[in-house]
Structure 1
Amino acid sequence: MKYFAATYTYGEPSLVDATRPAHREFIAGQLALGRIVGSGPYVGTEQALIILQLPDTATEADAADVLDQDPYSVAGALAARDIREWNPVSNIFS
């Protein structure tokens, strides 16, 4: 498996709040599919981290395709999103 770390920077607070239930439903669905292995906000910031687990052949574009379906992305609730391939040297995910 290949891992990707995505950092979300939240946009307009009212839009983030309105979209949060659908976002959490999306995350739960991706967890059930095994695509997301962890997610949550950074404490005291307007950012969150999502860890994706995708097949060995996956690219950052594939990770972006998954996250493009997130209601936060669809609604334009994010000010920024950064996705990077991540190498979990100390790996509890597999």
Structure 2
Amino acid sequence: MALFALQLKFTDPDRRMEVRPAHRDYLTELYAAGKLHTAGPFTDQTGALLIYDVADEAEVRDIIAKDPYTAADVYEIVTLQEWQQLFPPA
């Protein structure tokens, strides 16, 4: 398995708030399935950081494509990169 960090920049705050319940339900499902390591918005609500635990980049891109935020077009991807967890030790 590999960890991938996704940094988002929100582009449509009003639409984002409309879609947020569905997005959070989706993240809850991913977390329960062991596919989401951690996630949350930045405190200024301009974007978010999500860490996925997946087989490869193809899987994380598929997960992102199915996110309700993607269908609603409420963000831009700033960074999608494989990430190495140092602490706490895995």
Which residue of the partner structure matches residue 10 of structure 1?
Answer: 10
| TM-score of the two chains, using structure 2 as the length reference | 0.89
Whether the 8 Å contact between 1:39 and 1:51 is mirrored in structure 2 is yes
Distance 1:91 1:6 in 2: 19
Q: Which runs of 5+ in 1 are unaligned?
A: none
- Structure 1 residue ranges, 4+ long, deviating more than 4 angstroms after superposition: none
Shift of 1:45: 4.3
Residue 49 of structure 1 is matched in structure 2 by 49
- Among all aligned residue pairs of Structure 1 and Structure 2, give the percentage whose two residues are the same amino acid: 28
- Cα-Cα RMSD: 1.4
State the TM-score, normalizing by the size of structure 1. Answer: 0.86
User: Which has the higher mean CA deviation after the structures are superposed, 19-28 or 45-54?
Assistant: 45-54
Q: How many residues align?
A: 89
Q: Which structure 2 residue ranges, 5 or more long, are not aligned?
A: none
* Alignment match, 2:84: 87
Q: Which amino acid aligns with 1:64?
A: R
